[in-house]
Structure 1
Amino acid sequence: MKVLIIEDEALAAERLGKLLYEYNPAIQVLAVLSSVEAAVKWLQEHDLPDLLLLDIHLSDGLCFDIFKQVRVKCPVIFTTAYDQYALEAFQVHSIDYLLKPVQFSKLVQSLDKMQEIRHTLGPTQAEIPINEVVQMIRPKEGSYKSRFLVKMGAKIKAIKTADIAYFFSSNKLTLLVTRENQKFPVDYALDDLIQLLDPSQFFHINRKLIISFDAAKEIHPYFKGRLKLVLHPPLDEEIVISSEKTPAFKSWLDQ
């Protein structure tokens, strides 16, 4: 089986590759791509793989933009942090999904399902009803979170999303940091949060940080095509944007 991995988090992509090898050492990973742009270019220039492993959030946008530019008729397994009950409706034909973090047992089930599809229908017989999928798992307009509940001692307070500077993950704890530099723990992983936040207002910098548009105080060129970022309120940690994410970050700032 030939597999194309489209995933913008290097550690997640590496894990998928290891899990695929554990499932079957004969599986060939054709490429690992991190952006919509790279995926479209690859799919336009190559034959379709036997399977796509596709993250929903990529470095330059949502994966659905890929399907607007190229036709995909091979089985696809999405990786997502969305609750499984919201996704059961599209678990048909050549579509499946894996909840993050991807577990080997779940991957085995999905791969077995894809193998059965290839053997019974052929690898490209049924085109993915992608428009239906988009409607089911793309957040509806106006559905992004407008506030978060946090604890202040014995009290509970609602923090407006507009008042949030960034979310920072450290030592298995996710902190919400307000523009006034108040810090509150929240019960969300960053992968979950980014899907609840308006992408025009928040950007997933790396596996530890999501920032709001106004939190970027200073941006400096850095080595090897990277950017160094200074936040307000300040964060006591060097923030470097990878060269892979730099184009998407600049586009986000310039929208």
Structure 2
Amino acid sequence: MNILLIEDEEATARRLRRMVQEVEPTARIVGMTVSVDESVEWLQTHPRPDLILMDIELADGQSFEIFNRVTVTSPVVFTTAYDEYAIKAFRVNSIDYLLKPVKEDDLRNALTKLQCLKESLLEHPDSLKTSLTNLLRQMAATASPESSAQPVQTASTYRDRFLIRQGQRLFSVDVAEVAYVFTRNKLTFLKTRDGHEWMIDYSMDEVSTMLDPQRFFRLNRQIIAELRAIDKVNLYFNGKLKIGLRPIFDEEVIVSREKAGEFKVWLGE
């Protein structure tokens, strides 16, 4: 089985590649792309893969744009930290929809589903489209306007510590010590209240599902901050907000106009 992996978070891409090799040793990752543009170019210049593992939120937009720019005939398994895209995902060639962090059993089930569908798809090319249309109707019928874009979790399911690997040494950092989580050069780091930085093997999308949203807020794609780490909030141009963090972050931290209202509510407005 030849697989194209579309994922812009390096840590997630590494984990998915390792997981595919463990779940299906005969599978080959024949391509890895990180953006809509790069994915479109790859699909236009390479043979059709047997499966595409596709993140929804990419660096240059949502991966649904790929389907508007190139004909995709391969089955797709979507991966994302947000379930608001479920119905939209199943409008295209999706055979499954996996929430991050992707679990090995879920990936195994998706690959098994593809194997079961293969023979049927060869005999009846329209069967996948029909089954997905039916699934879409069922999802739309049961969709609730109050449903959240974020996967539902209880307080007890949020992570309370992270395992840090430093050479041959392993140790834990308690979430209570974390001031913020940030990404740099496609790697993810914890910044503790005492100023230490520790690399963790999770993407920002994955971390955002692990932390209690009452305590942590994703300011932008690059940084997730704990409430007590918010030192200053200043009005910025065009409705944006400029944030000062404690400990100091060495880059400018901006909350977009679209997220500014939500951020103010989170602060207690």
Q: Which TM-score band applies after superposition, normalised by the shorter structure?
A: 0.5 to 0.7
1:137-148 alignment, distance < 5 Å? 138-148=152-162
For the residues of structure 2 that align with 1:221 and 1:187, how far apart are their CA atoms? 34
Counterpart residue type for residue 170 of structure 2: I
For the residues of structure 2 that align with 1:18 and 1:233, how far apart are their CA atoms? 40
Residue 105 of structure 1 corresponds to none
- Say if 2:30 is the partner of 1:16: no
TM-fit CA distance, 1:19: 3.7
Residue 231 of structure 1 corresponds to 245
Change over 3 Å in CA distance of 1:127–1:206 after alignment to 2: closer
For the residues of structure 2 that align with 1:128 and 1:82, how far apart are their CA atoms? 27
Residue 217 of structure 2 contacts residue 224 of structure 2 at CA under 8 Å; is this kept in 1? yes
Q: How many corresponding residue pairs?
A: 188
- Say if 2:80 is the partner of 1:80: no
Change over 3 Å in CA distance of 1:214–1:117 after alignment to 2: same
For the residues of structure 1 that align with 2:69 and 2:246, how far apart are their CA atoms? 43
Counterpart residue type for residue 231 of structure 2: K
SS in 1 for 2:211: coil
SS in 2 for 1:23: coil
1:44-55 alignment, distance < 5 Å? none
Give a deviation string over 1:110-161, Cα, whole Å, max 9, x none: xx87722366x49636655569x99xx6334401110011135643221110
TM-fit CA distance, 1:187: 0.6
Residue 56 of structure 2 contacts residue 62 of structure 2 at CA under 8 Å; is this kept in 1? no
Change over 3 Å in CA distance of 1:55–1:254 after alignment to 2: farther
Structure 1 runs (4+) deviating above 4 angstroms are 7-10, 53-56, 74-79, 84-88, 125-131
SS in 2 for 1:195: helix
Give a deviation string over 1:208-251, Cα, whole Å, max 9, x none: 11111111100000000000000000011011111011111111
For the residues of structure 2 that align with 1:55 and 1:153, how far apart are their CA atoms? 30
Unaligned runs of 5+ in 1: 1-6, 25-52, 65-71, 92-111
Residue 180 of structure 2 corresponds to 166
CA-atom RMSD in angstroms? 4.1
SS in 2 for 1:188: coil
Residue 22 of structure 2 corresponds to none
Unaligned runs of 5+ in 2: 1-54, 73-77, 111-125
Residue 38 of structure 1 corresponds to none
SS in 2 for 1:245: helix
**TM-score by structure 1 length?**
0.59
TM-fit CA distance, 1:16: 2.5
**Selected match of 2:169 from 141, 152, 155:** 155
Counterpart residue type for residue 66 of structure 2: K
Structure with the higher fraction of residues in helix conformation: 2
Change over 3 Å in CA distance of 1:118–1:139 after alignment to 2: closer
Residue 223 of structure 2 corresponds to 209
Residue 34 of structure 1 corresponds to none
Residue 75 of structure 1 contacts residue 114 of structure 1 at CA under 8 Å; is this kept in 2? no
Residue 222 of structure 1 contacts residue 228 of structure 1 at CA under 8 Å; is this kept in 2? yes
Residue 57 of structure 2 contacts residue 80 of structure 2 at CA under 8 Å; is this kept in 1? no
**TM-score by structure 2 length?**
0.56
Residue 220 of structure 1 corresponds to 234
For the residues of structure 2 that align with 1:114 and 1:205, how far apart are their CA atoms? 39
